[in-house]
Structures are given as C-alpha cells and as structure tokens.
C-alpha cells in the first residue's frame, strides 16, 4: 500500500494559494524596486541640479556685466582680470520637444554639461533693481539695467522603462555684485 498523499484538490488549492502569495511578493518587490529607482533618479537629479545652480549662482555673483542673448543663452562678463567670460545656455535636442541640455561654455574649452536632460521650458530671467526693498524686482529690458539673474529648469530622467520623472528647479535671483547700475 502506498503512502498517504495529497489529493488533486489539495494540490490545486495549494498551487493557487502559492501563486497568489508569490504574485503578491513579486508585485511588492517590483513596487519597491521601482520606487527605489525613482527615488534614486530624484536624488541624482537633485544633486546634479543643485550643483548646476551653484555654478550658475557663483558665476552670476562675480559677474561685472551680462550679455543677454535670449531667455536660453547669456554670457557673464567677469571683473577685469578675474578670468574669462562664461556663457550659460540651453542646447535643445534635434527634436525640439525632447529634453535638451544645460551647458556652461568658455571660449576655447569643451562645453561643460551641467544637466544632461532638461525639458524645453527652460528659461533665464533678468531683473533690475527693486523699487524698494519690499517689492519684487521688475523685469529688465536690456543689459544696461539688468542687476539680477535667475534660471528655471525642469530636469528630466527616464530610467529603464519607467515613466519619466522630472524635477523643477528655480535658482535664487542672484545679484551681480560687481555690476554698477542706475547711479
């Protein structure tokens, strides 16, 4: 006489339960993995964008003048003897709807890519001195009256089949401390 065994019904019920449990575990793992990847993408974008904004802020603060070439490109002129002029620009992708890149350019040097994937709604803003300390500074109309500069960008990250994630970054309105205006 053979040993006692599971009946077919028992095996099927057990298989079904195991499938549900394993599916739940797998789903949880996938969710954790995706969340982790997304979090890593956000953290990486955060670090990259923060670094880019710090470079931009630093150069603006030291600039003695600016040459505005539209809301996607400007050149900062340093004080005499304080180094070369620095250009910041948004370089669009061949497909204008696709993310471009935010670069820092110095004549004679290779472009430094600060943020590799930036949405096309990138924009520089320029402002003149505020009318008083309590008011927002009004927009500037030309280089001559420009005293403050700002950049806004949306970094985009696509990670292996996951939906794209993006992070909007807005710099401070950086004052060009070495630029004299309105005297």
Length of the chain: 183
Among 91, 143, 167, 173, which residue interacts with other proteins (rule: CB under 8 A)? 143
Sequence-ordered list of residues with C-beta below 8 angstroms from that of 9, at least 6 positions apart, any chain = none
Q: Give the whole-angstrom CA distance, residue 52 versus residue 71.
A: 17
Among 12, 26, 39, 170, which residue interacts with other proteins (rule: CB under 8 A)? 39
Tell me the β-bridge partners of 125: 150
Residue 101 makes contact with other proteins by CB under 8 A: no
Q: What angle do CA 25, 28, 34 make, to 5 degrees?
A: 140
Minimum distance from CB of 96 to other proteins (Å)? 29
Minimum distance from CB of 28 to other proteins (Å)? 9
Residue 182 makes contact with other proteins by CB under 8 A: yes
Residue 17 makes contact with other proteins by CB under 8 A: no
Interface segment toward other proteins; rule CB under 8 A; list 8-16, 36-44, 86-94, 101-109: 36-44
Q: Is 91 exposed, middle or buried (0-12, 13-18, 19+ CB in 10 A)?
A: middle
Residue 141 makes contact with other proteins by CB under 8 A: yes
Q: Return residues touching other proteins (CB under 8 A).
A: 3, 25, 29, 32-33, 35-36, 39-40, 43, 46-47, 50, 58, 61-62, 79, 82, 128-129, 131, 138, 141-145, 147, 177-178, 180-183
């Amino acid at each position: 006489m053979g040993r006692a065994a599971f009946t077919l019904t028992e095996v099927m019920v057990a298989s079904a339960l195991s499938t549900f449990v394993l599916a739940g575990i797998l789903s949880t793992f996938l969710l954790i993995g995706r969340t982790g990847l997304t979090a890593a993408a956000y953290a990486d974008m955060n670090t990259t964008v923060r670094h880019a904004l710090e470079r931009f802020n630093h150069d603006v603060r030291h600039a003695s003048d600016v040459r505005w070439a539209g809301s996607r490109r400007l050149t900062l002129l340093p004080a005499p003897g304080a180094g070369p002029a620095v250009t910041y620009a948004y370089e669009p992708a061949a497909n204008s709807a696709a993310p471009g890149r935010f670069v820092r350019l110095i004549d004679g040097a290779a472009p430094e890519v600060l943020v590799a994937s930036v949405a096309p709604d990138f924009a520089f803003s320029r402002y003149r001195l505020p009318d008083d300390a309590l008011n927002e500074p009004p927009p500037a109309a030309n280089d001559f009256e420009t005293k403050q500069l700002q950049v806004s960008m949306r970094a985009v990250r696509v990670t292996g089949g996951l939906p794209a994630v993006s992070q909007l970054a807005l710099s401070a309105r950086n004052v060009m401390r070495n630029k004299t205006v309105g005297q």
